[in-house]
Amino acid sequence: MGSPVTIIAEIGINFNGDFDTCLALIDAAAAAGCDVAKFQVFSADTLYPRSAGVLAWKDENGAFTYDIFTAVKKNELPREWVAPLMAHCERRGIGFLASVFSADDARFLVKAGATALKISSSSVRNLPLVDACAAFGVPLIVSTGGSRLGEVEDVVDTVCRHHDRLTLLHCSLQYPTPPEDCHLGAIGTLAAAFPRVAVGYSDHTAHATAAPVQAVTLGARVIEKHITLDRRMPGPDHFFALEPDELAAMVAGVRSAEAGLAAGEVEAVDPVLFGSSAKRVEEGERYLRDFVANQIFVRRAIAKGDIITTEDLLVLRRGEKGAGLAPKYLSLFAGYTVRAARDIEAEAPMDWGCIL
């Protein structure tokens, strides 16, 4: 990717369902000097249950209430767009990257020519997905927002059974992240705990340059930031994203910090941004950590006494539903005869009380 620090422009769902907006966002990322333009490839059916619930949220543009599954469905990136978007990135001299949320997403992208895959913070505890992605052999970038150090260790161990081309991104699950909750000291903790892999930072603060520049001085080798054409556009991810001129300022700040480091000029550490060096779940992350957590759900209605197999189960985000088993327990249903302890309705979370 050319530069010592790789800068990723997170387009995500901010194209608002419009192909030309995708192209314009790639153009903005390239013009700002970013190395990579990143999208998200998912199907609503493999992200949330249809009964995930209703979410209320507000930003600078007002208050909104929406059905979770319906809203996610509207934000899907059509698969037929991926090849032309890759081609446009190539024309603009910028890399293409996408977050994946299922093994099928990853398989599709690798077959389409993706040279790396991204795993979001929501999937850190989805070890079967991490394992499937690592098995494709391409480099992985994993965001670690809302994660404990032991959970990150599980990811590293899983990936390193296949290869060590892994980058961990420290971040927060607060959108936007208050400066005092950045805890950039955790970058050094991740680097010390996992010396085989690279460490970076995905920034969700409202400021364009402060946290990304500080992260670089603390050793981040990748910087990721959400972008938008206009923060006033409708949608949940615009209000905290950078507009094109701000993105250019961030890139300039990161490159200046790199030059300073090369010259032995280290910027003073901001104690507010540095915060704690502990890799932990902050209070402001707890709700979203649970909301986006991958867990096991029942695909179909199951009667008491029926044998439950992996074909009867789905790994989805929790949404507003109750807690279920972590994805790592899927192997129990493949290796043992497991029967239902009670009648279980379709799309119910699978928990220990469900099985004998």
CATH number at residue 350: 3.90.1210.10
**Which pLDDT score is estimated for 83?**
98
- The answer to the question of residue 56 being in a domain is no
Residues 156 and 275 in one domain: yes
| pLDDT tier at 120, thresholds 50, 70, 90 | very high
pLDDT digits (tens, 9 = 90+) for 211-221: 999 999 999 99
In terms of domains, do 118 and 137 share one? yes
pLDDT at 267: 78
Instruction: Identify the domain boundary among 258, 284, 310.
Output: 284
pLDDT band at residue 65 under the 50/70/90 scheme: confident
The model's confidence at residue 335, banded by pLDDT at 50, 70 and 90, is confident
Within a domain: 328? yes
In a domain, 302, yes or no: yes
Reported confidence tier of residue 66, pLDDT bands at 50, 70, 90: confident
Quote the pLDDT of residue 58.
Answer: 64
Residues whose CB is less than 8 angstroms from the CB of residue 271 and which lie 6 or more positions away in sequence, other chains included: none
Same domain for 310 and 268?
no
Sign of CA dihedral 9, 255, 179, 223: positive
Is residue 123 in a domain? yes
Domain hosting residue 246, numbered range: 6-42+77-284
Q: 306 and 234: one domain?
A: no
Mean pLDDT of 71-91: 97
Least confident of 57-61, 92-96, 189-193, 316-320: 57-61
Residues 266 and 313 in one domain: no
Q: Residue 266 above 90 pLDDT?
A: no
- Express each pLDDT in 86-108 by its tens digit: 999 999 999 999 999 999 999 99
What CATH number is associated with residue 122?
3.20.20.70
Q: How many structural domains are present in the chain?
A: 2
pLDDT of residue 346: 97
Do 246 and 337 lie in one domain? The reply is: no
CB 322 within 8 A of CB 347: no
Strand partners, 347: none
For the stretch 31-46, pLDDT in tens is: 999 999 999 999 999 9
- For residues 116-129, give the mean pLDDT: 97
Q: What is the reported pTM?
A: 0.95
Q: What is the rounded average pLDDT for all residues in the chain?
A: 95
Which of 284, 304, 327 lies at the terminal end of a domain, its last residue?
284
First to last CA, the chain: 51
Question: Any idea which residue has 């009670």 for tokens?
Answer: 342
